[in-house]
Structure formats: C-alpha cells, structure tokens
Amino acid sequence: MKLKGFKEIDVVALGYIVWIIFMILWGIKTVEDPYHHLLNLGLITFGVFTVILLDNKFKNPVINLIRNIYPLMLTAYFFEITMVTNRVFFKGYIDPSFQALEQWVFGSQPSISWGVNFDYFWLQELMHFAYFAYYPLVVITPIYLYFKQRENLGEFVFTTSTVFYLCFFIFSWLPVIGARAFGQEFISRFPEIASGAALNPLSINTAELTTLYRYGPFTRIMAYIYIQSPHAGGAFPSSHVAVAISIALAINRYLPKMRRIVAPIVVLLCLSTVYCHYHYLIDVIGGIILAYFGYFLALRFYSKKRTDFA
C-alpha cells in the first residue's frame, strides 16, 4: 500500500518515536517527568506530519529541505531522551561490567591510559579535532547533497538516520555512561558504578579531563560542548563512530574524490573517542560493527522498497 507523501525516512523517525513512547509508558512510574516527554513526542509527531503535508502542497525549497533532512535534525533530542528511558529495564548504570570486560579483553583501561600516557599538545589537538569533525560531517554532507546531488539525498538521509536510530534504540534500554564514568562526579551521582574505581588505581578523573579548558582550540571546544551537555551517557555502541563511518561510506559512494580526506579523519575519530576519555574501546568496536551492518542493511532496504512510498 502506498502512503501519499511518505518516504522511507518517515518510517525510521516515526517508528523510533513509537518505541520511545512505549518505553516511557512501560516505565511510567520510574521515568522522570514522563508526561512532559510524551507531550514533546506528540508535538514532534504533529510537526512531522505538518511538514510532510506542507511539502506536498507547496513547492518551497526551505520546507522541502526540512522535509528531507528532519530525521537528522531530531537526532540531538532523540539522543537526550534515551537518557530518560535507559534505566527502565536496568535499575542503574552497568559500567562496571563494561570496565571489567575491557580489562579482561585488553588487560588495561585504554580509555584512561591512552590520553594520560600520550599526553602531548599536538596529539590532544589532533584527536580533539578529529572528534569535533563529526559535527561538520553530519551537518554539511546532507546540505551539500541537497544542492549538488539531490538525487542521492534521500538515500543518504535514510542510511545515516538508520544507523543513528539503531544506536539510539540500544541507548534507550542499555544504560552505559562510557569512559567518563571513572569521574568522581558520576560515581557520586550513580553509586552503582563505584565498584569500577578499582580498575582505576591512579584515580584519574576522566570526567574532569573532558571538561578542562586546556591546550588549543579544539580541546577547548570539546570541553565547552561537554560542559554544556546535560546527558550522563549513551556509550555502547559509539554513535560517534557508527555515524561517522556510515557517512564515510556514503561519501565514498557519492563523492569518491573526497575519500582520501575523509577516511583518515574518520580513522582518527575512532581512536579519539577512546583517547579523549569519552568511550571504552569496546564501544568503538561495537560502533564499527553497527555502522557496517546498519549502513548496508539500510542501503539494501532503500533500493528495494523506495517505490513503496509515494
């Protein structure tokens, strides 16, 4: 059955909204301010249908751009709302289990040691630049495609959104803070993660390191972002890694001349998530696996089902 005006991206976005509403209703007695979030989700749903309707009725380039990229515009909010639901099934953060697995697999805590043992101005700046490059990749790529390769925009938004929302789906029920859980402020807020401190014999405060104004501009920019960010976690798998790799795969597909620039940045980005104390190395491995799985699954679905949506 064809649904007039609906596209594949709408299935991803609206499907995720339905999932989060289910999670809030399931844990309505434990979720903080559930009715406020339900109202927000209702307004977002109304907004999505309104944009679809307006785009069908009017030939306006601004409305059309919003209509085609809105799932990416919603990602910041959807990331934050996973922090509301992720302790519905688990009653607390489970970082000690991830830290113990990290120790068992690697014999150390790379999310502590890399950034501390190789603490050089130039390397800190390079790694924080690579981590920051994620944001321009997410913003600039769809805008460029809209104006230069509009025929590829739908596929790009669908594959990227699919990878984003797969990460969010896992974040929404799996409560993992990430490497910043070694910070004292997180241990004070969430006592259940205190046992992980035994794997941090030097008592390195990773959360503090991510919010210190030090070194050059990129280290300071990322410190500012984390100071302003209210979320506690959303670590496994790393959406930073998964989405960056997904975008790199798309750029290789649409803009092959750019891959020599983008590929090294994305490799450094994967390393930077651990070096900069944001993620466990296991989160990065999970992000790589999910990126390839999600991207090619979405690509296959899009190529087969795109004609089902008018």
Show the tokens assigned to 59. Answer: 């030939």
Evaluate whether 45 touches 70 at the Cβ level (below 8 Å). Answer: no
pLDDT of amino acid 61: 87
List, for residues 284-296, the tens digit of each pLDDT value. 999 999 999 999 9
Helices (H), the chain: 8-26, 34-57, 61-73, 75-85, 95-106, 110-117, 121-132, 134-148, 150-171, 184-189, 206-209, 217-228, 239-254, 259-275, 281-305
Judged against a pLDDT cut of 70, whether residue 154 lies above it is answered with: yes
Judged against a pLDDT cut of 50, whether residue 136 lies above it is answered with: yes
Q: Is 293 helix (H, G, I), strand (E, B) or coil?
A: helix
Classify residue 16 by burial, with Cβ atoms within 10 Å: 0-12, 13-18, 19+: buried
List, for residues 262-290, the tens digit of each pLDDT value. 999 999 999 999 999 999 999 999 999 99
C-alpha distances out from residue 172 to 83, 85, 87, 134, 268, Å? 7, 6, 8, 22, 27
pLDDT of amino acid 1: 41
Question: 3 falls in which pLDDT band (50, 70, 90)?
Answer: low
The torsion region of residue 215 among left (phi > 0), alpha (psi -120 to 50) and beta comes to left
Judged against a pLDDT cut of 70, whether residue 4 lies above it is answered with: no
Q: Which of 57-71, 132-146, 243-257, 262-276 has the lowest mean pLDDT?
A: 57-71
Fill in the DSSP letter of residue 190: -
pLDDT over 90 percentage in the chain: 77
pLDDT of amino acid 212: 94
List, for residues 101-121, the tens digit of each pLDDT value. 999 999 999 999 999 999 999
Closest CA to 183 of 202, 207, 200: 207
Region 73-94: mean pLDDT is: 91
Q: How far is 231 from 86, CA to CA, in rounded Å?
A: 12
Judged against a pLDDT cut of 70, whether residue 309 lies above it is answered with: no
- Please count the CA atoms within 13 angstroms of the CA of 163 that sit on its side-chain side: 32
List, for residues 189-242, the tens digit of each pLDDT value. 999 999 999 999 889 999 999 999 999 999 999 999 999 887 777 789 999 999
Evaluate whether 214 touches 223 at the Cβ level (below 8 Å). Answer: yes
Classify residue 91 by burial, with Cβ atoms within 10 Å: 0-12, 13-18, 19+: exposed
Region 72-80: mean pLDDT is: 92
Q: How far is 50 from 99, CA to CA, in rounded Å?
A: 45
List, for residues 159-183, the tens digit of each pLDDT value. 999 999 999 999 999 999 999 999 9
pLDDT of amino acid 38: 96
Please work out, in degrees rounded to the nearest 5, the angle formed at the alpha carbon of residue 63 by the alpha carbons of 57 and 64.
Answer: 85
pLDDT of amino acid 305: 63
